[in-house]
Amino acid sequence: MTRYLNLGAAQMASAIGDLDTNLATHHRLIRQAKNLGIDCLVFPELSLAGHYGAENLLNVAMHRDDTRLLDLSKAAGEMEVVVGFIEEGPAAQFYNAAAVLKNGKLVYIHRKLNLPSYGRLIETKYYALGRFVDTHPMPGDWRMGLLICADLYNPALVHLSFLHGATLLTAPISSGREAVGDEFDNPDSWATTMKFYSMMYGAPSIMVNRCGVEEDLTFWGGSRILDPFGRVLAQAGEGEEVIAAKLDYAEVRRARALLPTVRDSNISLVQREMERLTAKLGVPDIVRDEE
């Protein structure tokens, strides 16, 4: 069994809509991470397209079997790499997606569920909604819960991820200081959010932000890796940087023995109350789409 996990964050600035430039940056940072012995490397949200990449939607969207993604996966080898891109799914539907790449394959994908449309954020203009919360099995007892940025601002989605067995919360984000408004402190909000989830669920977490400036947004970096008690193990500054921390699964066991949030979640009660609320509000069922 794999007890330890060397986890890395690749904080970077993306060139808006310039796939070639961003791919070159990914290859360079992947080489750097491999030299550091990193087992899993996480890039920011929409790292291949840029935060505003969707303004050139038809030219930057990629199918999940795109050879450029698979080339990144080949470069990664045994290291798992999480990259953000605009996925073109069936029937010309476009998604804000994060893919897990390894050994020349795309092994897992998450489509963003909670698309913001407030402040300076207009994702509903471009992207279709994702439909599923799931997890990705990693070596040993590690299981990745992968959610994208605003997904974490719907606590029910994070709860579902942990109920699906996540032992690691992975959060690629794209957080600009001005995104929500002058009275909302994005850096402090993310620091509080990540500490809360790690402490509450007894799981290490990684948040990876971009840096630089895109149009009207200043990205503050601050990527970080936390242990299952909410303590920061590694934190980036405001520029391009690869940070890493070694995680010990024994610490997850210890944290969850002390605070058994997942054990005590009472799934049947939540299911019953959600069904009662759905009936009360008359909310229609969502038809499953093909992944």
Tens of pLDDT, residues 58-81: 999 999 999 999 999 999 999 999
- Structural domain contains residue 284: no
- Structural domain contains residue 282: no
Predicted local distance difference test score (pLDDT) of residue 182: 82
- Residue 11's domain comprises 4-259
- Structural domain contains residue 266: no
- Structural domain contains residue 176: yes
- Structural domain contains residue 265: no
Contacts of 280 (CB under 8 A, 6+ apart): none
Cβ proximity of 203 and 166 under 8 Å: yes
In 3D, which of 142, 145, 57 has the Cα closest to residue 98?
Answer: 145
**Cα–Cα distance for residue pair 277/189, rounded to 1 Å:** 29
DSSP H or E segment with residue 120: none
Structurally, how many domains does the chain consist of? 1
Cα end-to-end span (Å), the chain: 31
- Structural domain contains residue 289: no
3-class SS of residue 84: strand
**What does pTM read for this prediction?**
0.94
**Cα–Cα distance for residue pair 48/52, rounded to 1 Å:** 11
Cβ proximity of 51 and 22 under 8 Å: no
Cβ proximity of 148 and 98 under 8 Å: yes
Q: What percent of the chain has pLDDT over 70?
A: 97
Contacts of 267 (CB under 8 A, 6+ apart): 163
Query: What pLDDT band is residue 285 in, cutting at 50, 70 and 90?
Result: low
Half-sphere exposure of 119 (CA within 13 A, CB side): 18
pLDDT digits over 11-43, tens only? 999 999 999 999 999 999 999 999 999 999 999
- Structural domain contains residue 81: yes
For tokens 């977490």, the residue is: 205
- Structural domain contains residue 290: no
CATH number, residue 40:
3.60.110.10
Cβ proximity of 60 and 54 under 8 Å: yes
